[in-house]
A and B are shown apart, each in its own frame.
Chain A
Amino acid sequence: MMQTENKKFITKLWLLLISLTLFSAFMAERSHPGLLSVLIMAGVLAFKGRIIVDYFMELKQANPVLRKLMQIYFYVIPTLIILSWLFPQQIAEWTAL
């Protein structure tokens, strides 16, 4: 019974991830580049990463250090996406050789 519920839950997550991917593709093709679309894309990436780490890799109930190590990836990369879109010149200045 528990396994059946788990299977249904995982299947729903898979369909949600597919839907978010199709939404991202739609955004890429149809939307105008702008802060809102960048924020949405960063949010979608953070959410997808969290789902895979917590439920596909089953880290939700696992060692908190390991879970945080994996989760932090999907805080840092979306943040870098937003920062690199908002402040490209400053980043270029700070990293110029």
Chain B
Amino acid sequence: MSEAALPPLFINSHRRNIPGSLAIWAAILAEMSEFAIMFIVYFLARAHNPVVFHEGPAKLNTTAGTMNTIVMLSSSYFVVRAVMAMRENQAKTSARWLWAAVACGATYLIIKYYEYTWNTAQGLATETNIFYAVYYYVTFNHFLHVGWGSAAMLWVIYRLNTGIYTQQEHEGLINVALYWHMIDLAWITIFPLLYVIR
């Protein structure tokens, strides 16, 4: 494929046909491995404690979990639209889509805070049983990722507004977009494991 035929996403890594930078992929694969270890812990704990893992999800706030899944999927969609807008050389539109994604990140954090408060009112805590210990460990870890992922998007918005990115060169935006999709991938895995499967 000639360079001219390549989509802008691949401009900087076209020889390897990799979107974004190699560095962000090292980070993404490391983070995915970290979450994979947590999921292995979940499966082992589930095998050894089938009763608490059967009963645990029913006591969680499924509505909050569902809303957060919708919010995360929507934020990923907004990030895709931000990248598409930048490819059309529309930096302001791109920034607006990213603001929508940041709003989703903030909404996620608020819903999760509400959910933790709700759990406490129901008497659900890390020491309740191993299901809730795993639930808090995994979801709080993800909560932190959403926090710093949102902060990274704010940084990209700042750079968009200062005109640093161009239609041809906006690898920083691509990298943050890819990282945010990784955070979304982690959540769509967490949702069925902790809220749905009984």
A residues at B contact (CB < 8 Å): 3, 6-7, 10-11, 14, 17-18, 21-22, 24-25, 27-29, 33, 37-38, 41-42, 44-45, 48-49, 52-53, 56-59, 61-63, 66, 69-70, 73, 77, 80-81, 84-85, 88-89, 91-92, 95-96
Contact = CB atoms under 8 A, between A and B. Distances in A.
A44 B88 contact: no
Interface string B41-63: 00110111010001001000011
Contacts of A62: 10, 17-19
Contacts of A42: 192
Nearest to B182: A57
A96 B87 CA distance: 53
Among A3, A25, A61, the most chain B Cβ lie within 10 Å of the Cβ of A25
B39 interface: yes
Contacts of A29: 62
A41 B9 contact: no
- Secondary structure type dominating chain B contacts: helix
Contact of B70 (A3, A18, A27, A48): A18
Contact of B47 (A17, A33, A73, A88): A88
Contacts, number: 121
Interface stretch (B71-79, B137-145, B158-166): B71-79
Given A58-B19, A73-B32, A11 B77 contact: yes
B196 A27 contact: yes
A81 B84 CA distance: 35
B57 A28 contact: yes
B84 A7 contact: yes
Given A41-B197, A52-B184, A96-B48, 7 more contacts: A14-B73, A28-B198, A37-B197, A57-B178, A66-B25, A91-B44, A91-B47
